[in-house]
Amino acid sequence: MISEWQNHKAQLRSYVSHRIDDADAVDDILQDVYLKASGNMHQLKSKGSLKGWLYRIAHNTIMDFYRQRQQFEALPDDLVAEEQESGKQAREELAECLRPLIDELPEKYGTPLRLAELEGVSQQAIADQLGLSLSGAKSRIQRGRVKFRQQMMACCDFEIGQEGITSYAPKDPLQRAKC
C-alpha cells in the first residue's frame, strides 16, 4: 500500500489543495485518506481502479471536512420558546382568511382541501368520510391545491422572499375583502 500511496500522493495533494484553503487541513485530509484507504483495502475490487478509489475517498473526506467546519451560532440564554398556542392561533386566523377562497372552489375539490389543510384531517380519514379511495382523496386534494393556487394568483399580487410570502396586495382594490 505504501508504494502505491507514494505514486498517487502528489496528485492527491494537488487535488485536495485546490479544494481546501487551509494548508494544515490539506495534510490532515491526506492523512485521513491514507488511513481510510489502508484500513479498507479489502473493498478495492482491482488494482486498476486504485487511483479512482483514492480520489473518491479524498472527495468524501473533503466533504466531511466542510460539514464539520460549518459555523453555528449559539442561541442566546434568554431566548424563550414561543408557546404552542400562538402557532395554533395564527393558523386559525390564516384559515379564516383562506376559507372564503376555498369555499369558491367546486365542492368536490373544496371540501377535501378544507378538511386536509384547514382542519388537519388525514387523507385516509377524508377518503373514508367522503366515500373515496385513498388515491381518489389524494388526487382531489392535489387538484384542489392547484385550483386554489390559480385562484390566489388571479386575485392577488404576491411578494416572495427567502422567508416565503413577505407581502401581498389584491389586484383589484375592490376585492380586498375577498382576498
pLDDT digits (tens, 9 = 90+) for 38-53: 887 777 776 667 888 8
Four-way CATH pick for 2-69: 1.20.1600.10, 3.40.50.300, 3.20.20.70, 1.10.1740.10: 1.10.1740.10
Dihedral (CA of 145, 112, 118, 156) sign: positive
Instruction: Estimate to the nearest angstrom the gap between the alpha carbon of 86 and the chain centroid.
Output: 25
d(CA 109, CA 126): 12
How far is 169 from 148, CA to CA, in rounded Å? 17
Domain edges within the chain: 2-69, 85-175
Task: Give the count of beta carbons closer than 10 Å to the beta carbon of residue 105.
Answer: 20
What is residue 158's three-state secondary structure?
strand
Q: What is the pLDDT of residues 83-110, one digit of tens each?
A: 555 556 655 666 677 788 888 899 999 9
Q: What are the residues whose beta carbons fall under 8 Å from the beta carbon of 130, sequence distance 6 or more? A: 111, 112, 137
Question: Would you give the end-to-end CA distance of the chain in angstroms?
Answer: 70
Give the three-class secondary structure for 171: coil
C-alpha 150/C-alpha 152 separation (Å) is 5
Q: For the ranges 14-18, 111-115, 151-155, 173-177, which has the lowest average pLDDT?
A: 173-177
Quickly name the fold that domain 85-175 has: Arc Repressor Mutant, subunit A (1.10.10)
Can you give the length of the chain in residues? 179
* Res. 133 pLDDT band, cuts 50 70 90: very high
**Residue 59 grid coordinates:** 472527495
d(CA 57, CA 72): 26
Beta strands, E only, the chain: 156-161, 164-170
Q: What would the grid cell of residue 92 be?
A: 386559525
